[in-house]
Structure 1
Amino acid sequence: SQAAVGAEDAQHLINGDQHLRGSTLFVILVVLLLIADHVKKRRPKNFPPGPLLFPFVGTVVDFKQPIHLECVFQLIGRYGNIFSVQFGNLTFVVVNGYQLVKEALVHQAEVFADRPHIPLLREIFKGLGLISSNGHIWRQQRKFVLSALKSIGVSFEERIQEESRYLTEAIEEEKGQPFDPHYKINSAVSNIICSITFGERFEYHDSQFQELLHLLAETLLLIGNFWGQLYNAFPWLMRWVPGPHNKIFKHWKKLKYFVNGVIAKHKEDWNSSETRDFIDCYLKEIEKSKDDSISYFNEENLLCSTLDLFLTGTETSATTIRWALLYMAVYPKIQGRFCNGLKLKLTGSLGN
């Protein structure tokens, strides 16, 4: 019995020792993570000041609606017109005031030209296209896109005029009854981009077209919502966590599949002497630069640049138009002034 008790005591000692070792390793790991996080996030010398930084989460400031502007003004009052905040792994420098913003974005444009490192966009675009690229690749792609859009035979103004007629017809179908303009305006704006990039427009009720719009809208919504921002703050963790943010990558695969299909059709009947749209321009540039070792003109960049045009063009323009309609509905006097201004400027140029 004494031997049994001794064995039991020995087992307790072993278990206690293992538990102590496990606890010690855990404490050491936490301390090392805290030190690494502190070294990574500490503000460099001469960096704009800001609120106290906490481990892993960064700045603990309530930017939730509806008082986010009040929080910003409080920070301006405390730290001045240039200050910094951190959310997870993301560092932001806030510049306030017309002169300071002009100094940064106009007088020192080259210094501030680089895109921020946003983990979610980096995961989607892989540093390609226009939104998430930097340096030489960004300058090369941006210069080409601007040149290509100018060189396409039919101007933006003509495409807008053409699509405005389809939009007017769609609105007239409502016969003066109340309706939500979201779907029709998004369809019209997206069709203008489709005609420039794909060389064709879609009927508003086309199921494939509507799926494209739905995927674009929901992807942008998910990127900007809480889950998207959480992914940007803690990408190393959120890659393994289930949640709505995973829809972004599923939607992106579908969008890539759709655009790759359009590119494949263009390649089948491509004629280097004829430029129908943006994709034709890019295919021509790929052929022209195939022997250039430092060229970034390839099909992957074509895919990302095309999707960039949709992501940055459709929702932003459509939202601006919807807000303008709402503003004029709320303020009829402004609506009247706007209408009179259009009549004055456009009389004779658009017919009826």
Structure 2
Amino acid sequence: VGGAQGPTAPLSWLNVSMLLAVLVMFLLIADFVRKRRPRNFPPGPQLFPLVGTIVDLRQPLHLEMQKLTARYGNIFSVQFGGLTFVVVSGYQMVREALVHQAEIFADRPHIPLLQEIFRGFGLISSNGHIWRQQRKFVLATLKNTVVSFESKVQEESRYLVEAMEEEKGQPFDPHYKINSAVSNIICSITFGNRFDYHDSNFQELLHLLAETLLLIGSFWGQLYNAFPLIMRWLPGPFRKIFRHWEKLQHFVRGVIAKHKENLDQSDVGDYIDCYLKEIEKFKGDTNSYFHEENLLCSTLDLFLTGTETTATAIRWALLYMAVYPHIQGRATDGSFIT
């Protein structure tokens, strides 16, 4: 009996190895078929099993995209893990997609990281009816407050100038001063009040927002989006995104709670007040998506998309005026004509 068992052991291991090899080959072929570009699909770099498009991770992703634009033109496709992207660049192409054919390009892609933190609520990661309903409300609310919005921008600009004058002409980094000013305008419209630039809680809020956005767009954030089923169980710097998001939610929930306590139905109020009234208005309507989770996510959306993008545009404008003093002179003496 013992002699009969000897030869079967290597045979069993051989069978297992062959089974694993066949399984791996099947998975690779299935992945290749799934990732294969359909006919008339935008061209792109060679695709590799499992990973898709391979880029140089030592450089920022947008620089790699610029290289691919030079090679494949203003429309090309890339794949990262399970995500497929069609990249559109150039003013005319982007305008055609986002303005002339806006309805076709209105849907939002399924980005695992954003789905994880927003759960399909808010403005960034929502889709279909919920997105249209929330977007329509936000636009109408901001339009109704356009006069006060302009006055708040003018008021905040004075605070920003004062903060810069405190530097007494010495070199300084304007990053957080500009971020504070832009965020304060959003706070005024959303919360109904602004914060002092030296307020520690306010600065922590800005720091959390900035680092969260940085991590979402980082290599680790993109790796999570490409392989969410694996990355969900692994440690890494991207874990900070979820910790920061909990703190941001806690802060905004506290503001919403105070607004609920002091809500005046006869007063227009700020964005949160308007949204709370809308919740009451559609209470009991099963087709309505006006609830506190959507309020929470849409409020954080306004901060995430409004603060960093606007502040970055202003910093670039300052840089250009510093590099081109004659343009700065035209802007300051009022002779600048667009």
Residue 47 of structure 1: how far off its partner (Å): 2.2
Aligned 8 A contact 2:216 2:241 in 1: yes
**1:69 alignment partner in structure 2:** 66
1:29 maps to a residue whose letter is: L
User: What is the rounded CA distance, in whole Å, between the counterparts of 2:114 and 2:106 in structure 1?
Assistant: 17
Equivalent residue number for residue 261 of structure 1:
254
> Residue 177 of structure 2 is aligned with which of 174, 178, 184?
184
Q: 1:249 to 1:18 in 2, by over 3 A?
A: farther
Contact map agreement 2:69 2:75 (CA 8 A) in 1 = no
Secondary structure, counterpart of 1:300 in structure 2: helix
Contact 1:152 1:278 in 2 (8 A): no
User: C-alpha distance in 2, partners of 1:203/1:100?
Assistant: 42
Q: Which residue of 1 aligns with 2:153?
A: 160
Please list every run of 5 or more consecutive structure 1 residues that lacks an aligned counterpart in the other structure.
1-5, 346-352
Q: Distance in 1 between matches of 2:268 and 2:14?
A: 72
Which residue of 2 is the match for residue 350 of structure 1? none
Given candidates 4, 9, 13, the residue that maps to 1:19 is 13
Q: Which secondary structure does the structure 1 equivalent of 2:156 belong to?
A: helix
Deviation at 1:255, TM superposition (A): 0.5
* Structure 2 CA distance for aligned equivalents of residues 219 and 114 of structure 1: 24
Aligned partner of 1:277 in structure 2 is: 270
Q: Which amino acid is the alignment partner of residue 228 of structure 1?
A: G
Shift of 1:71: 3.0
**Which among 10, 15, 34 is matched to residue 28 of structure 2?**
34
**Cα displacement string for residues 139-190 of structure 1 (whole angstroms, at most 9, x for unaligned residues):** 1100000111122385211011111111111111112221111111111111
> How far did 1:227 drift?
0.5
Look up the equivalent residue of 2:265 and give its one-letter code. Answer: S
Distance 1:123 1:333, change over 3 A: same
Identity of aligned residues (%): 72
CA distance in 2, matches of 1:316, 1:153: 20
What does residue range 180-219 of structure 1 map to in structure 2 within 5 Å? 180-219=173-212
CA distance in 1, matches of 2:16, 2:97: 51
2:71 maps to amino acid: Q
* AA aligned opposite 2:210: A
Task: For residue 300 of structure 1, report the CA deviation from its aligned partner.
Answer: 0.4
- Structure 2 counterpart of 1:240, which letter? W
Q: Does 317-326 or 41-50 show the bigger shift?
A: 41-50
What's the secondary structure of 2:202's corresponding residue? helix
> Is contact 1:121-1:132 (8 Å) kept?
yes
Q: Distance in 2 between matches of 1:52 and 1:179?
A: 46
Report how many aligned residue pairs link the two structures: 335
Contact 1:152 1:275 (C-alpha < 8 Å) held by counterparts = no
Q: Which amino acid aligns with 2:207?
A: H
SS at match of 2:222: helix
Alignment of 1:1-352 (within 5 A): 7=2, 12-62=6-56, 64=59, 68-76=65-73, 81-152=74-145, 155-341=148-334
Within 2, Cα distance between the matches of 1:67 and 1:31? 31
Which protein shows a greater Rg? 1
Kept in 1: contact 2:51–2:81 (CA 8 A)? yes
Query: Could you tell me how far 1:207 is from its partner in structure 2?
Result: 1.1
1 CA distance for matches of 2:36 and 2:336?
A: 58
57 and 153 in structure 1: CA distance in 2 versus 1, 3 angstrom threshold: closer
SS at match of 1:341: coil
Deviation at 1:49, TM superposition (A): 2.9
Letter aligned with residue 299 of structure 1: E
Relative to structure 1, is the Cα distance of residues 296 and 102 closer, same or farther in structure 2, using a 3 angstrom cutoff?
A: same
Shift in Å, 1:11: 5.7
Structure 1, residues 93-115: CA drift from partner, whole Å, max 9, x if none?
13345444333222321111111
Over 3 Å counting, the alpha-carbon distance change for 1:176 and 1:37 in structure 2 is same
Mark the CA change 1:343 to 1:110 in structure 2 (over 3 Å): closer, same or farther.
closer
CA distance in 1, matches of 2:97, 2:146: 36
Aligned residue for 2:173, secondary structure, equals coil
Normalised to the residue count of structure 1, the TM-score between the two structures is 0.88
Question: Any conservation in 2 of the 1:153–1:276 contact (CA below 8 Å)?
Answer: no
Aligned partners of 1:254 and 1:18: how far apart in 2?
A: 54
* Residues 53 and 86, structure 1, Cα contact 8 Å, conserved in 2: yes
Q: Which amino acid aligns with 1:309?
A: L
